[in-house]
Each structure stands twice: as structure tokens, then as C-alpha cells.
Structure 1
Amino acid sequence: MLFKKLLSISMAVLATASTVQAAPTSKVTAAVAGQAFDHVFMIFLENTDYALAYSDPSFQSLLSSGILLNNYHALTHPSEPNYIASIAGSYYGVNNDGTYNFDSSYTSIVNLLEAKGLTWKTYQESMPSVCYTDSSYKSLYYRKHNPFISHQYISTNAARCKNVVPSTQLTTDLNNNALPNYSFFTPNIKNDGHDTTVGYAGKWLVNFLSPLLKNPAFISNTLVVVTFDEAEDYTDETNHVLALLLGDSVSSLKNTVDSTYYTHYSLLSTLESNWGLGNLGRGDVNKQLSNVFSFVAAKTGYQNVNVTNPPPLN
């Protein structure tokens, strides 16, 4: 009942690639420095319970390369509100996978990044063109998995919307040593496991990441975050999903486990802490839901909390 009441309040507020090829080795352009990493590259996969993802051979093969977050949680159901929350600190009461156009009063991580002079881009696999606004394309790209295009201060602003790009742009950016500080990568609906299986998604992920993790233009002081938008089991009030931290920014912590309680809001608070971005004043400042990834908190002095009674997240 508490969740329903919170959702009702949120609704009232609302009313007011294909595998990337490795680039040639060359000098990497300097990025705006963070305290723990200079680049973040996030990959969202779809609708998988923690236990199923953890048992998959492809995901098992990645565990030795980074940090397993074994107490990481999605925020709600279905998919789209989780994507929105991961960049905005709120899902604005959204409880479906509809088409939304939030006006310019709805801010996100983009506002914080731009205010500090950091670069950003979202790479959307199978999206046909830059700033594509239709709901889907060839049953592979789906707008519901692209939270940036739902914000009008991005979709109606040419300078910003040029950063909403097909995933093929990633190869060009790496060849030009132009990886943004912040990258959000959405695989198409087959490669993310939505219309296939976790095994299919895991094999795609390993094939996709293998060349990138060896590419100096990609990996230089980069944090790679791989997680799932939500659990498949709607009856699981913890909404427990697997998350992995990879990249050379965590190279000294390979094959370790971080059991701190995290949610998608932790993605925001971690970035805010790393670059001193300030905050959005939403879920990213809810101490029960926004612990900063421990290796970052250790470098920035952020004090995480021990969450012993988390709220229902389904």
C-alpha cells in the first residue's frame, strides 16, 4: 500500500550496435578528470532476475575482470520508468512503457554534466538516425529504452539532440579519440535480452566488450557499468538485478564483490560524487537508495549508509 501511495503522489507531480571494432592505438585526448574515473560507459540489459544472470556462463566469465555488485536493485516496473530514473533521479510516476515528452522543467544528469563542462552522449543500437523521435524502428530499436529523447530540453534542442546517436557512432568517436565523459549505451531489443534470452545477451555483451576493453581510446581511466533495467519477477519486492563494474578504473579490484546496497539512483550519486556535480534533489539524495559505489566513495569521502530495511521496489 505504501508503494501505491508513493506512486500516486508521483503521478500527481507528473500532472503539474553491432560489435564495435577496436580503434588504432594512438594518443588519447584528455577528458575532464574525476576523482575515481574520467569516463563512464553504462550498458543496460533487460528484464532478468539476479540469480539467472549470475548463473549464465558469459556473465560468469566477466566476474574475474571487475567488481560484482551483488546487492544492486532496480526501482520499479516495467522497463521505461527505470531508464528514466537512472538519468533523472525520479521516474515521475510513470508506470508503463508509453511515449513521453517531459517539458524543460524536468532535469537530468545532462544538466549537471553540462554545467561542469563535461561531455555526454547516448548510443542507441539500431536507431536509424541522430535524434530519432519515433517510438520504434524495424522492431529492434525502441524509444522506451532511450530516456534522453523523452526530455524535451534534449529532443527539441539541436545542440543537445545531436548527442542522441546510433551506436555506429561509437566507432567514429573512438577513432577520433572523442569518447565522452558520460556514455549511455542501449543495445537493441534482441541483444539486450528482451526478445531473446539472458544467454543471448551475455554472448553479445562479451563479444561487444572484448575489443573495447583492449582499446586505449576507450578504456583509459574508464568505468564500465553493466546492469539490468529490472528483474523479471514482479513479485520480488527487492527487484534484485546483477551489476558489474569493469574497466581500468577498477583494475586493482578485479575479481572482488561489493555487497553495499545500491539502486539505479546510485548511478547518479556515484557520478555526482566523482565529478562534484551537485545533485538533482530527487532520488539521488535519498540516502537509503543512493549509496555511492564503494571504490568511488573511498576516494571522494562520501559516507554510505548501511541499509537494513529497504523499501519495496516493485
Structure 2
Amino acid sequence: MAARHRDVLPGAGRLHRHGRPPGLRDYRRRGRVRLRGATQADCPVWMPFPRAVAAGPYRQVLGEGCVYPAAVPTLGNQLSAAGRSWAAYLQDMGNDPARDHTVATARGPACGHPATWVGDHTQKAEKGDQYAARHDGFTFFRSVTANQAFCAAHIVSFRPLPADLAQARTTPAFSFLAPNLCNDGHDAPCVTGAPGGLAQADAFLAQWAPKIMAAPAYRDGVLIVVTFDDGGDAAACCGETSGLSPAYPDVPEPGKTGPGGGRIGAVLLSPLIRPGTVSTVPYNHYSLLRTIEDIFGLPHLGDAAMPRVRSFGPGVSG
């Protein structure tokens, strides 16, 4: 491992490279790590939830950490259990396997993510590899990564995407696409010298949206959702009072200064949506999850089941 790839906790020095790493309780006792700070810093070290206890009416995992235990399901697990195909396509994943620990498959690099208790070497972009593991939410769940074959079958790079779009039967029923740190607008400028920011995100969409809309599966009624992970403040809506559930109003809030991730926008494209439709109804990411689950006839996970969280209504389709 190169010297620049040091596995460290903030202020804690190097993690053990052999045997079991120090327990989280040890770090807390020594005052060397604060989970909340690490989580808000996009998990520079992939620490598990110290006491993963699901509680409350919506069965959310209480506490703070980065890696959820195998008992916590994802939308991907739901789809697989229902016999529906799905894939997460991550741009640049596998360009440098030493950074993201991908495995080689017939469809290219797959299942790239840091190991538990190991530093995330993809926090910053590098020339030739701008993949960010933290932008693939599926790999934070051991219910996806604990089974190497399952993970490799569903967490892939952009390389198989054109072939998958070529035929309706090879296009997954659900696809999650995450651009690299330049094309998602995160970096400005980018390490490649590209401008980055929203101009770069627009260029990415101008390249890929027409390809997806030209795919045979799109003509069958595919819904494309273009959205962002957070905004510039901690605003919330739809009953998101604590980030866990209304039953836990006194827990630390997940936003930097409040309950939510801020106000963002979303663009929806589908043959079933009337062009030019605008909806001013407030929705959040739980609404998007709930909508996807409704489309596939799946139960609602976590806070997507909260009474005030609504699926996309008739005003979205026009």
C-alpha cells in the first residue's frame, strides 16, 4: 500500500493492519474519534454502527455510524427478493482498483468500496479516477456487500451500461447512476482541468440522457429522475423532524444544523409525463424511495413509511 494511502481515524494515527482493529469504545475512551463528526465528513473511515439497534415504528437503526449491519435491507435487497433486476452504475469505479478495492468480473470492475474500519481513499478525485465510494449508498450496507457475488452482480462501473441499454431485456428494472466527482458537479474546477460545477453536470446529462431516452426500455414507460443528495442548508419537509422518526424528537439531527439536507430540485423524464409539467408540492428523498417502492409493489422501508411522507402524486405527471 502506498504511503499516501494511510488508514487513519481523525487524530488517532494509523489503524492496526493486522488482527482486529481497536474497538470503537476504545477510541471513544481515548477521545480520539467522534462518530458524528466523521459521519458528517462523509465517512473518511468506514466505521460500523457501534450498537445497531432498530427501534421505533419505522424500524430505523439508532445511533451514528457509516456501515449498516447485514440485517438492514436496502431497496436493492427488496428488488432482488421480489425477483426484479437492478444495478448501480458508478462512473470511474475500478479505474484504479488500489483506491476502491474493486473485484474483476466479466462485466468489468465491480463492488468497489472500502472495508470496514479502513480509510476511504476515494474521498478526493485523482486524474484518471474520480470515483467517490460515498456516492454509492448501497455499499454502506452489509446486506449488499457481505455477499461478494451479490455485490459484484449489482454494483458495477459505467462500462456495461451501453450494452445493458441496447435491449429492453438487458436493462435493469431499476438503475442507479452516479457520475464521478467532476460530472456530478461536486468539484469545480476538476482535477482534469474541466470546469466542473453545474456546467459539467449539464454536459454529462447532455451526453447520457439522450442515450437512455433512446433505449428500447424507455419507450416502455421508464421514469428517469435527476436529483441531488443535499442542498445548502438543513431544511426539511414532510414530517422529517428528527431524521429517525417523529417518535424520536430528541435524537441528534442528521443535517448540519437541523433535521434535513436542504432544499433541492428534481427533474423527471418519462413518456408518461406531460412535457413542461411543474409540481410545487414538497417531497423529500423518502418520497422518492416510497414512489419507487410503490411502482414495484414493495413495502416501505424506514421513514418512507411515515404518514406525512407521500409518493409522487398526479401533479407530477401532469
Match of 2:110 among 117, 120, 130: 130
1:117 deviates by: 1.3
Question: Does residue 1:263 correspond to 2:284, yes or no?
Answer: yes
Question: Does residue 1:247 correspond to 2:270, yes or no?
Answer: yes
Question: Does residue 1:167 correspond to 2:167, yes or no?
Answer: no
Question: Does residue 1:286 correspond to 2:306, yes or no?
Answer: yes
Deviations 1:200-229 (A, max 9, x none): 212221222123212324442100000011
1:133 deviates by: 2.1
1:277 deviates by: 0.7
Decide which structure has greater strand share.
1
Question: Does residue 1:120 correspond to 2:86, yes or no?
Answer: yes
1:78 deviates by: 6.8
What are the ranges of 5 or more consecutive residues in structure 1 without an aligned counterpart?
Answer: 1-75, 81-87, 299-314
1:262 deviates by: 0.5
What amino acid is the match of 1:151?
F
Number of residue pairs matched by the alignment: 208
Q: Determine helix, strand or coil for the equivalent of 2:79.
A: helix
Residues 166, 91 of structure 1: CA spacing in aligned structure 2 closer, same or farther, 3 A cutoff?
farther
Q: Which of these two proteins has the greater Rg computed from alpha carbons?
A: 2
Q: Determine helix, strand or coil for the equivalent of 2:294.
A: helix
The residue that corresponds to 2:214 in the other structure is 214
**In structure 1, C-alpha distance between the alignment counterparts of 2:234 and 2:87, rounded to whole Å:** 31
Question: Does residue 1:274 correspond to 2:265, yes or no?
Answer: no
What are the ranges of 5 or more consecutive residues in structure 2 without an aligned counterpart?
Answer: 1-38, 44-57, 95-108, 115-119, 189-196, 236-256
Is the 8 Å Cα contact of residues 77 and 143 (structure 2) preserved in structure 1?
no
TM-score normalized with structure 2 length: 0.58
Residues 185, 217 of structure 1: CA spacing in aligned structure 2 closer, same or farther, 3 A cutoff?
same
1:114 deviates by: 1.9
**In structure 2, C-alpha distance between the alignment counterparts of 1:89 and 1:294, rounded to whole Å:** 25
What amino acid is the match of 1:124?
L
Q: Which has the higher contact order (CA 8 A, sep 6+)?
A: 1
Q: Determine helix, strand or coil for the equivalent of 2:304.
A: helix
Is the 8 Å Cα contact of residues 77 and 144 (structure 2) preserved in structure 1?
no
Residues 90, 159 of structure 1: CA spacing in aligned structure 2 closer, same or farther, 3 A cutoff?
same
Question: Does residue 1:200 correspond to 2:223, yes or no?
Answer: no
Decide which structure has greater helix share.
1
Residues 153, 212 of structure 1: CA spacing in aligned structure 2 closer, same or farther, 3 A cutoff?
same
Superposition pairs for residues 292-303 of structure 1, below 5 Å? Answer: 292-295=311-314
1:77 deviates by: 6.5
1:268 deviates by: 1.3
- Between the aligned residues of both structures, percent identity stands at 28
Q: Determine helix, strand or coil for the equivalent of 2:92.
A: coil
Is the 8 Å Cα contact of residues 273 and 297 (structure 1) preserved in structure 2?
no
1:259 deviates by: 1.6
TM-score normalized with structure 1 length: 0.59
1:89 deviates by: 9.3
